Structure formats: structure tokens, C-alpha cells
């Protein structure tokens, strides 16, 4: 039997798909390291157990698959009926038996991968709508999923850290987060500097209120700054005033 391959031949999209698939495999590994009893433990997300994280990641794959079906057929298929329905779905998923919860993640991930694989090359440009109401090309779903699986693998609180996330993913994540802050104006008085690999080189990535000499600068290596910006941890990050005086690292603005 001839193996089936992605229909797209776009090299950037193929690279993005590989990053998403690697993230899915990483999440699966961290999940499989947990015993059934461990699933009842807390995650790094306030109010969520590990069960909630697994349910969310599983249902997220199903939701993104609906967007790919939309791109393929032209029939509008929203990610979720409503934000309330999404919350109820996660709460229900968290009550599943351990084997059912693990199967939810596995089967949903395989389904999404098949939808991506079989999407015709030209359909990746078709417009779909995210749960937040953004209209994006279907290709954007790959980044949407990449972000979910890598970050939530850390949220399982099973030894994974932002240092395990590939540098190109961290760099794009930091750009996304700081971009959201800039749009809302919540980055006023903040400069963000991340050093170390950014995917292409070792340059320092700089974002924020760079024209403000009185701004507080939060700095550190890329993984530490991304973890801080995502609201997970301030470990490894430092903060200084415009005059170079060290201060406590401020809480990162909300980005979702």
C-alpha cells in the first residue's frame, strides 16, 4: 500500500506541520509518563487539574479539525457552538475515566493529523473563523495547534519546561503575546528583551514600549522570558528600571 502524504508542498507549511506534530508527540510523552492517579493532580493552571488540561487539548484538536473541514468543504463549521459550550465540554472531559481521557487525546490528535494531511494544497488559503472571531487562512490552524500542545505539555507539571520548547516556537509565541499586549495598550511602560537562540540566530529579541526611557525592562533567555510572558513562571527573568536599577519582576499582562 502506498503511504499517504501531505497534499501541500509549501515548504514553510510543511515545516510548521512538523513542529505541530513534534509538539503533539511531546505532549503525548509527558501524558504517558503520568499514572492514572497522577491525572487527578493539579496542573500549572489555576483551577484546572491535569484532567482538565488533557481534556482541553483533546477537544481543541477536534475543534481545529472542524475548521479544516470548513476549509475543505466551504460549509461553515465553527470550532465551538459557544464559549459556554466549550467550558462545559472541558469540564465533562475532566470526568472521563483515565482510559477514555487518554483515548480522547489520541484519537482527536490522529483525526486532526488526517484532516491536515488530506487538505488540498489550495484549500490552505481558505478563510475560517477562530473561537475568538478572527478570520484567518486555514494554514493558521497549524500555529494554533502548535501553541496549544507545546505550552500545555508544560502545564501538565510533569517536568517539562519552556526550555523544552523549540526556539522558533518560543520566538513566535513571544511575538504573538507582545503583539496582543501592544494592540490592547497593556505593554505601556514595559520593554521585553529575550536573549539566546531565536530560531535563525542568537540575536536579542526586543518588544514593548521601547521609546519610553522610564520603562521597566524584563529580560532573560528566550525560554525564561516566554514563560514569564505566558504567565507561567518568572524564574530566570530579571527586571530593571530605565536607570538600570534592579526591581521585582512584574506580573505579565494578560494575553488571552
The per-residue pLDDT for 1 is 38
Mean pLDDT by 10 residues, the chain (256 residues): 76 96 98 98 96 98 97 94 89 97 98 96 96 94 98 97 95 95 94 74 82 94 96 94 92 90
CATH class of 167-247: alpha beta
In this structure, are residues 82 and 131 in contact, taking their beta carbons and an 8 Å threshold? no
Rounded distance, CA 54 to CA 52, Å? 6
Q: What are φ and ψ of residue 195, in 5° steps?
A: -105, 165
Rounded distance, CA 40 to CA 94, Å? 9
Q: Which CATH number fits domain 11-160: 2.40.30.10, 3.40.50.800, 1.10.3210.10, 1.20.120.450?
A: 1.20.120.450
Domain ranges in the chain are 11-160, 167-247
In 3-state terms, the chain is what percent helix, strand and coil (to 5)? 50, 10, 35
Question: What does the DSSP 8-state code read for residue 92?
Answer: H
Burial class of residue 97, CB neighbours in 10 A (0-12, 13-18, 19+): exposed
* pLDDT tens-digit readout, 187-246: 999 999 999 764 445 578 999 999 999 999 999 999 999 999 999 999 999 999 988 899
User: pTM of the prediction?
Assistant: 0.93
Question: Of 51, 53, 28, 21, which is closest to residue 145 (Cα–Cα)?
Answer: 21
Amino acid at each position: 500500500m502506498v503511504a499517504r502524504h501531505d497534499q501541500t508542498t509549501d515548504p514553510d507549511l510543511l515545516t510548521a506541520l512538523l513542529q505541530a506534530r513534534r509538539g503533539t508527540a511531546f505532549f503525548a510523552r509527558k501524558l504517558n509518563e503520568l499514572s492514572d492517579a497522577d491525572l487527578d493532580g493539579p496542573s500549572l493552571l489555576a483551577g484546572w487539574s491535569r484532567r482538565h488540561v488533557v481534556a482541553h487539548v483533546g477537544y481543541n484538536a477536534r475543534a481545529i479539525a472542524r475548521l479544516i473541514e470548513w476549509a475543505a468543504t466551504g460549509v461553515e463549521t465553527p470550532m465551538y457552538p459557544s464559549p459556554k459550550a466549550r467550558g462545559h465540554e472541558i469540564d465533562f472531559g475532566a470526568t472521563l475515566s483515565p482510559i477514555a481521557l487518554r483515548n480522547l487525546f489520541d484519537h482527536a490528535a490522529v483525526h486532526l493529523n488526517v484532516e491536515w494531511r488530506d487538505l488540498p494544497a489550495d484549500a490552505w488559503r481558505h478563510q475560517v473563523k477562530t473561537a475568538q472571531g478572527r478570520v484567518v487562512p486555514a494554514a493558521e490552524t497549524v500555529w494554533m495547534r502548535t501553541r496549544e500542545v507545546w505550552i500545555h505539555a508544560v502545564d501538565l507539571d510533569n517536568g517539562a519546561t519552556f526550555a523544552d520548547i523549540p526556539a522558533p516556537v518560543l520566538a513566535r509565541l513571544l511575538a504573538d503575546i507582545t503583539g496582543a499586549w501592544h494592540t490592547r495598550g497593556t505593554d505601556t511602560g514595559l520593554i521585553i528583551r529575550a536573549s539566546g537562540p531565536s530560531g535563525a540566530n542568537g540575536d536579542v529579541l526586543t518588544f514593548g514600549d521601547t521609546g519610553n526611557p522610564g520603562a521597566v525592562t524584563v529580560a532573560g533567555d528566550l525560554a525564561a522570558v516566554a514563560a514569564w510572558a505566558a504567565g507561567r513562571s518568572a524564574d530566570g527573568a530579571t527586571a530593571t528600571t530605565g536607570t538600570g536599577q534592579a526591581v521585582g519582576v512584574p506580573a505579565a499582562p494578560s494575553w488571552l
